[in-house]
Amino acid sequence: MTEVSRPDGETNGEQGPARRSRLTRRGFLTGSVGGLAVAGASAVLVGCDESKAAAPKPVTQVPFRGTHQAGIATPAQDRMAFAAFDVTSTRKQDLIDLLQTWTAAAEKMCAGQPIGTVGGTGEQVPADTGEATGLDAADLTITIGFGPGLFDNRFGLAARKPAALEPLPSFAREVIDPDISGGDICIQACANDPQVAFHAVRNLNRLGFGTTTMRWFQLGFGRTSSTSSSQQTPRNLLGFKDGTRNVVSEDVDAMNAHVWVNETSDQQWLSGGSYLVTRKIRMAIEAWDRDRIGDQQDVIGRTKVEGAPLTGTKEHDEPDLNAKGSDGQPVIPVDAHIRLAAPESNAGMKILRRGYSFTDGADPVTGQLDAGLFFICFQSDPRTGFIPVQRKLAADGLNEYIKHVSSGIFACPAGLADGEYWGQRLLA
């Protein structure tokens, strides 16, 4: 198998008093806040003969090239590895060489292939790190995005920077750590096998040595949104279904209206692409776990088990934001998450959510879990998408249990035609 090399030759309900009582109680609880790797032979079931052996696991892969980048409208996989990089070189040709090399390697990995030699003899350095050897592609998608910092004077790209690609403004209650925010380039690798996703980012990082350095990295487990009508709604670490009203890929009109950048964009190289926003959100899980179910459901605006809005009985019932209880108060509280995030509360605006749960161990000071949601969303314009919705969420009752600690925004170009490399339309 041919090694992927750099072009320069280098290898690479409760309101009023009841509501106030709940807030006081929670304050007490919180204190503070191509060729494919073929699947292995069938295993013989215990107690069965070979004629009843299990069928081989199907080899699954997502096309790397197409109209749009994979990993946006693709049915959300179970695992994620996300990295942001800073470009350390100041030469435009180095950036071009890097993106050509990364494209070739990513295409191989999405087809379940190593990027080059895994074994070897003597003093040979393997071109592929090898931990995905024997694994299939597991629906791997690798999505690239470009941050605001890439459009400075280093590469002569200032005139090609989209007007919407600006660092996100400050929002209420956030405590952003700059060391795990921003970046010149992002890579989102999603797969149904955690090792396949990790392998993808690890090897692109290796190929970038000398041109890029990894700024921050995040692993995610358990998708927290559905991006296809064929998927069931998953649950986040608060135990509630998440993303019930998310945009789904089968709704072409909604995707065109809210997710894809169209031909009227101020930068034509981004037409067919999308804007990606990331937010790492820590959850005060222990405090949440001590609160009663009625309070939890009021905070979210849905029932915990079924996922129905408080005005309905089934998950996909439309929430009635005008419904009042016998006390004259809204059935869905005024600070309920689903009320504030609803399209009806945001001039009809929708975003495509594609986040994952995370855990980074335990907080060494408090001994509590360092866990939460790694929020990812895609939209056609963050100025009318994420930003106004997040400002609305300043009044969210959920804020008592969460804290935003990192932030990023990236412009993801359209999909690739045959022979094209990532960023070619930008850099040409």
pLDDT band per the 50, 70, 90 thresholds, residue 58: low
- Give the residue ranges of DSSP H helices in 136-292: 194-207, 252-258, 285-289
pLDDT for 45 equals 34
Asked if residue 154 has pLDDT above 50, the reply is yes
Confidence at 15, pLDDT banded by 50, 70, 90: very low
CA dihedral 361, 23, 238, 249 (to 10 degrees): -120
pLDDT at 54: 56
- For 97-129, letters b (16+ CB in 10 Å) and e give bbbbbbbbbbbbbbbbbbbbbeeeeeeeeebbb
Tell me how many domains the chain contains. Answer: 1
From 108-112, 152-156, 201-205, 334-338, the region with the lowest mean pLDDT: 152-156
348, 260 in Cβ contact below 8 A? Answer: no
Are 261 and 273 spatial neighbours (Cβ–Cβ below 8 Å)? yes
Three-class secondary structure of residue 65 per DSSP: coil
Instruction: Say if residue 334's pLDDT is above 80.
Output: yes
Question: What is the extent of the structural domain holding 175?
Answer: 59-117+126-417
28: its two tokens: 């007490």
Is 62's pLDDT higher than 50? yes
Backbone angles phi, psi at 211, to 5 degrees: -120, -35
Q: Is the pLDDT of residue 6 over 70?
A: no
Write the pLDDT tens digit of every residue in 357-415.
999 999 999 999 999 999 999 999 999 999 999 999 999 999 999 999 999 999 999 99
Residue 197 phi, psi (nearest 5): -65, -45
Other beta carbons within 10 angstroms of residue 266's beta carbon come to 11
Whether the per-residue pLDDT at 19 is higher than 70: the answer is no
CB burial of residue 388 (10 Å; 0-12, 13-18, 19+): middle
Please tell me the number of Cα atoms within 13 Å of 187 on its side-chain side: 31
Q: How confident is the model at residue 153 (pLDDT cuts 50, 70, 90)?
A: confident
Q: Map 68-80 to HEC letters.
A: CCCCCCCCCCCEE
Tell me whether residue 49 is in a domain.
no
Residue 334 in any domain: the answer is yes
Written as one letter, the residue type at 346 is N
Please write the tens of the pLDDT for every residue from 90-144: 999 999 999 999 999 999 999 999 999 998 888 889 999 999 999 999 999 999 9
Q: Which amino acid would we find at residue 379?
A: Q
Backbone CA torsion sign across 299, 301, 306, 307:
negative
User: What are the C-alpha distances in Å from 166 to residues 140, 271, 274?
Assistant: 29, 18, 14
Mean pLDDT of 197-223: 98
pLDDT score, position 129? 97
Of 425, 379, 386, 411, the closest CA to residue 256 belongs to 379
Mean pLDDT confidence for 329-356: 97
- pLDDT higher at 56 or 400: 400
- Using left for φ > 0, alpha for ψ between -120 and 50, and beta otherwise, residue 219 falls in beta
Q: What percent of the chain has pLDDT over 70?
A: 86
Q: Please give the residue that has the higher pLDDT: either 37 or 226.
A: 226
Is the per-residue pLDDT at 250 higher than 90? yes
> Model pTM?
0.87
The model's confidence at residue 23, banded by pLDDT at 50, 70 and 90, is very low
Q: Is residue 19 part of a domain?
A: no
pLDDT at residue number 60: 81
CA distance 202 to 172: 35
Question: Is pLDDT above 70 for 270?
Answer: yes
Residue 317 confidence (pLDDT): 97
| Residue 205: pLDDT over 50 | yes
Report the chain's mean pLDDT, rounded to a whole number: 89
Determine the average pLDDT of the residues in 262-281.
97
- What is the spatial distance between Cα 14 and Cα 163, in angstroms, rounded to a whole number? 43
**Is residue 422, in this structure, part of any structural domain at all?**
no
Q: How many residues does the chain have?
A: 428
- How would you classify the pairing of strands 356-362 and 212-223? antiparallel
Q: What is the pLDDT of residue 32?
A: 38
- How many whole angstroms separate alpha carbon 245 and alpha carbon 242? 9
Q: Say how far apart CA 354 and CA 237 lie, in whole Å.
A: 15
Give residue 55's pLDDT.
58
**Three-class SS state of 83:** strand
79-87 vs 141-146, strand pairing mode: unpaired
In this prediction, residue 164 carries a pLDDT of 98
Q: Contacts from 60-63 at CB under 8 Å and sequence distance 24+?
A: 60/136, 60/137, 60/138, 60/139, 60/192, 61/36, 61/110, 61/111, 61/112, 61/136, 61/137, 61/139, 61/140, 62/110, 62/137, 62/139, 62/140, 62/141
Lowest mean pLDDT segment, chosen from 2-16, 122-136, 333-347: 2-16
Mean pLDDT to the nearest integer, 223-245: 96
**pLDDT bucket at 53, cuts 50 / 70 / 90:** low
Q: Check if the beta carbon of residue 9 is closer than 8 Å to that of residue 17.
A: no
For position 121, what pLDDT does the model report?
81
What's the CA gap between 109 and 101, in Å, rounded? 13
Average pLDDT over residues 242-247: 96
Structural domain includes residue 400: yes
- Does 188 fall in a domain? yes
77-88: pLDDT as tens digits: 999 999 999 999
How many C-beta neighbours within 10 Å does residue 322 have? 10
Residue 16 Cα to chain centre, angstroms: 38
Identify whether 345 is part of a domain. yes
Asked if the structure places residue 362 within a domain, the reply is yes
Q: 284-314: per-residue pLDDT in tens?
A: 999 999 999 999 999 999 999 999 999 999 9
